Structure 1
Amino acid sequence: MTSYVRTMHRIRSAILHLAVTLLALLMLYPMLWMVSSSLKDTTDIFVNSHQLIPSEWSFDNYVNGFKGFAGISFAVFFKNSFVITILSVIGTVLSSALVAYGFARIRFKFAPFWFACMMLTMMLPGEVLMIPQYILFHKMGWINTFLPLIVPSFFGGAFFIFLIIQFMRGIPKELDEAAVIDGCGKYRIFALVIVPLLTPPLITTAIFKFYWTWDDFFSPLLYLNSPKLATVSLAIKNFSDPTMKTDWGAMFAMSVLSLIPIVLVFFIFQRYIVDGISTTGLKG
């Protein structure tokens, strides 16, 4: 009987692993197809679109794609994306942590009201804010600069503030009281006591902000007019030109390269994502 139970357990486990593997391949197929298309010439992409293995391997797509367009190398677009993304991540992490500390640890007048106002901002569609923000940035002379894409990040984000608050509430307040006895003020408590314990939610915030900023297409399209200021997402779109022949192979090649930073960030920091979202208390 024991042998029968073990056999059935192994069979169910094998079926489960097979099903998960098939689902994983199904979800990865678009990415595999893109990588395959980046190694095909334009004709082969459309004639043999169903084949993942190219008829002829064409690595020239990566060379031609990296040359960019309008005399601007794709390295410039990567640099622009990294500058915008890294500064936005730094601004979001610092400001969100500071605001979360104020809500979670400092008593001030009308705190519940301001917290509710902050949470309500998550319900506003981006389309509602788009025109007022554009008018504001235009009057400030920030159009065709990186400032509209970076500066707002230094004022926090409601989702990230809420995430950090929930985690911070699991940190014992006795640590704050002990720091006060040692002569620490609110800012020293925040910097020396609270921040070192916020590693999981801060890294989670950084990961999500990195993803959202790196993949953002509409904001650069709205605020950046000069080709030299284009981000990777905007530059990839510019490979498609309806007025002339589109180099699809180069477009797919640059799309593959654009995924490398996202994949690296995920595999390096993936263990922090669950810890950051799980707010069950102090992590050891």
Structure 2
Amino acid sequence: MGKTAFIFPGQGAQYCGMGKDFFQAFPTARSVYATAGEAAGLDVGELCFTENESLDVTEYTQIAMLATEVAILKVLEEKGLRADCAAGLSLGEYGALAAAGVMELAPLFRLIRCRGIFMQEAYPVGGAMAAVLGLDADRIRQVCAGTAGVVSIANDNCPGQIVITGEAPAVEAACETLKATGAKRCVPLNVSGPFHSPLLAEAGKKLAAELEGVSVQAPRIPYICNVEADYVTDSARIKELLARQVSSTVRWRETMERMLADGVDTFVEIGPGRTLAGFLRKMSRDVKVLNVAKVEDMDAALA
């Protein structure tokens, strides 16, 4: 018998109005948004549901995305849907933490609020990211290592799509070399910082300090962390891995390969967009991928 995984998208999938229908239809969802707002000191519902410029600013995007993902998750769980394992891309890893039950929601939301602020402040100007299409990770890693300045792999998303990050001149120079090497395209990303770069090491240190006071339990279901692309079973390591994640490569391709090898044949992407589903379809056409972003999406997932 196959397994089911909950997977959670990261920053970039957000849009105005995300989660609003769940908020309106389910007290459970309203409770999650209220908990997020209290923990973050913000009106998270207003942030998610009304037109504003803050939603695309990292320090606000992260709490908005996580609140929406967890609100949908809790409604799905209330309806009886369960997963055998979980994973999330970048901030989506915190959605996986919620699915695994490793900490209470209030401290989880406080952490993601701090994470967004720390990442925004760590390198406010001069950073860049770009998606590299059509080259393998080893070749991209070689080019980054040979480029002057700070540039490295931020996300290994799926075969043929890797994101690089770092100082803007170094990212631009690496892109030119990569295109000359055979990359199909190098697409600059509209982001506010060099995420998952060593340039954000200070943000990781600050997050580690915040994590010290957080109570962490053993995962109810296995989840795979971004840093090692492996299951986390020892609760003592969770804090260390979350602190490292801020400045480390997100090993998403390996994460999905691990789940596929372990017999996961149904993936439920919880939250805005279909980004993770797109990555999966480049890796396997044999699995079922469901997206739950709206109330109307639930029927297929529950079936």
Q: Flag whether TM exceeds 0.5 (same fold).
A: no
TM-score (norm 1): 0.20
Give 1 or 2 for the bigger CA radius of gyration: 1
Higher relative contact order (CA 8 A, sep 6+): 1
TM-score (norm 2): 0.19
